[in-house]
Structure 1
Amino acid sequence: MTQLPNPRLSRRTMLQGLLGAGALLGSGPLLAACASGSTGTSTTAANGAKLDTVVAQLGWKKLSQFGGHFAAIKMGYFTDNGIDAQFLAGGPNIDPVAVVANKQADIGDDNGSGILLSRSKGIPVTAFATIYQQTPNALMSLKSNPVTSLQEMVGKKVGVPNTEKVLIEAMLKKAGVDPGSVSIVPVGTDPSILTSGQVDGYIGYGTQQGVSLEQSGVPVNVVYFSELGDPDYGNAQFALADTIADKGDVLSR
């Protein structure tokens, strides 16, 4: 892991996972080189200290996967580092890349593959850190009807969120599987479509839908994308290139 250069970071800053756990795309040297930047936006803490405001667009709703962020606010970890952290809820109709590109937020989070796809479209976003070293995205299936590999998806119905369709098709092609041989069904975040038998496989977060299925007494196979040949980052933190250039110290904190 690349150490972000910030003498004010304390050992108790549990948000290493938010803005420091695992540098992505050479983030450490990049942020170090621009550590003199400032946000241009500030607030004042209860003790009178000046706080730099950072607005973050979440990749999804304010659920438990982002619990660390809100625990850090409650415990004062952000203010300890001079940050007024503001998190915007995401959802099915909110594109974090578009929000950041339109400068409605300073940073956003997305899977590494999503950020690469945005770059391929000419959107100047750059990932600088990641929450998960490996994406929680997984292929889930009932143990009574297992689908545990890309090859086993052939001839099956697989529920895939629209945001993951391009990635799944690329993964299938890389594995030598014709995407046309898989019946891809658009789905949301409710895995009941799997338990009801409407699909044979379901793409979602193994740490969320997979756990919820197990807790409800449904035996499931959970195969993470890293096991399917996609060593992707999960919830990678990104910003516009000029934001990183101007606000490197703030993003480090």
Structure 2
Amino acid sequence: MHRLRTALALGATAALFLAACGGSDDDDAAGGSTPTGSRGSAVSAERCAQNEAAGRVTYVTGFQYQASASILDPIAARALGYFDDVCLDVEIQPGTGETAQNAQLVAAGTAQVSSIAGNGDVLVNVANGVDVKAVAMFGHVPVATLMTKPDITDLKQLEGTTLGQKGALPVTIEAMLRAKGVDLSKVKQVVVGYDPSVLVRGQVQSLTGYKSNEPLTLAAMGEEVTEWNPEDYGVPGSIATTIVNPAFLADHRTAVEDFLRAQLKAYAYCEDHAEECVADAAELSQAGYDTDHNVEVWRTETGLVDGSLPAGQVLGQIDEAPVRTEGDFLVQMRQIPAVPDLGEVVVPDLVPSLYSGGELVWPVP
């Protein structure tokens, strides 16, 4: 039901990867990889013209330039020349981690495409009147985890102790605790920063975090922690949903298709060349980028993504059924009043159209 994580040979880091700004083409064009092909080499002249008609496509990352799924792969797609191969002019801007801000930027047309934490964040924003469409999803598992020292063997032991969180208890963690019968009124919650050593120093007895971040930092310190994961208790979740501006999708569907096509091609490349892709992301960050840690972030997240891909589906595919499952869960947890009309929110046919026989189509016929 839970996993005891042992030490990994990682580079220690803080959870934040420090601010970095967008900028000119030269500023946000990642280096370190040699672009392949030439302008329009992967599309016909007609499709090239359609994509160029879309103008500059602004993509906002989920959080800075960290090596997460749906962040590192678009960065690599640009560095490798894949966007150029399909005649797309892509500007990459770093997000702050505020999912509502990303959704609002896309809805307003300030950005055309963005990564957002998961389906639940899409549904909360849509329920709040933000008009975006979800076109892709990478992981079918919650990314949040609750860490304790190994002496905690039952979550009920957390009653009478202190839990550290980042400003709010993640709804998936709350659901897990309630499923195990924990009386949350007996758990003192405090807001802590992004230094997970507060757990091993005993300042808190449990700590919320992300599977691809804090446990890696603690392992690098030689500390053993137990990860309590919501999916082990039947709690649904997702990782890395891609949202687009509905008007942009309607006017420039080929551009959206080929953005995702290039991203998915880069994802496969980065699975085999993690260090190279992370080096591209590091060049975009102004300072303080922990390359070793980010390599492990990428490997951890791709492991979560690949390991949770449903049989018979292709990478990136989004369907209404799992989104509805998360929506029903959010209603149950009183996060949204009702599940929005998913026919107006989810575009399930887009990603499958990029594949043939389970293989990504590249170049485009």
TM range (shorter): 0.5 to 0.7
For 2:245 and 2:180, the matched residues in 1 are separated by 33
For 1:59 and 1:115, the matched residues in 2 are separated by 12
Distance apart, 1:219 and its partner CA: 0.6
- Within 5 Å, which residues of 2 pair with 1:79-94? 79-91=84-96
1:189 aligned counterpart, secondary structure: coil
> Is the CA contact 1:60–1:91 (under 8 Å) kept in the aligned structure 2?
yes
Whichever residue aligns with residue 121 of structure 2, its letter is: G
Quick check: which one's strand share is greater? 1
> Is the CA contact 1:125–1:241 (under 8 Å) kept in the aligned structure 2?
yes
> Is the CA contact 1:141–1:148 (under 8 Å) kept in the aligned structure 2?
no
Distance apart, 1:157 and its partner CA: 2.1
**Change in CA separation of 1:103 and 1:164 when aligned onto 2, cut-off 3 Å:** farther
Other-structure match for 1:57: 60
Gaps of 5+ in 1: 1-36, 43-52
Of the candidates 141, 154, 160, which is equivalent to residue 148 of structure 2?
Answer: 141
**Change in CA separation of 1:220 and 1:92 when aligned onto 2, cut-off 3 Å:** same
- Within 5 Å, which residues of 2 pair with 1:229-240? 229-240=234-245
Distance apart, 1:236 and its partner CA: 0.9
For 2:237 and 2:88, the matched residues in 1 are separated by 29
Gaps of 5+ in 2: 1-49, 259-365
Other-structure match for 2:283: none
- Name the count of aligned residue pairs: 205
Distance apart, 1:155 and its partner CA: 3.2
1:162 aligned counterpart, secondary structure: coil
Other-structure match for 2:199: 194
Distance apart, 1:230 and its partner CA: 2.4
1:211 aligned counterpart, secondary structure: helix
1:118 paired with 2:97, answer: no
> Is the CA contact 1:39–1:246 (under 8 Å) kept in the aligned structure 2?
no
Q: TM-score by structure 2 length? A: 0.49
For 1:74 and 1:223, the matched residues in 2 are separated by 37
Residue range with higher mean Cα deviation, 98-107 or 159-168: 159-168
Whichever residue aligns with residue 152 of structure 2, its letter is: P
2:212 aligned counterpart, secondary structure: helix
Other-structure match for 2:112: 106
- Within 5 Å, which residues of 2 pair with 1:197-216? 197-216=202-221
Whichever residue aligns with residue 56 of structure 1, its letter is: Y
> Is the CA contact 1:139–1:148 (under 8 Å) kept in the aligned structure 2?
no
Please tell me the root mean square deviation across aligned C-alpha atoms, in Å: 2.9
Other-structure match for 2:230: 225
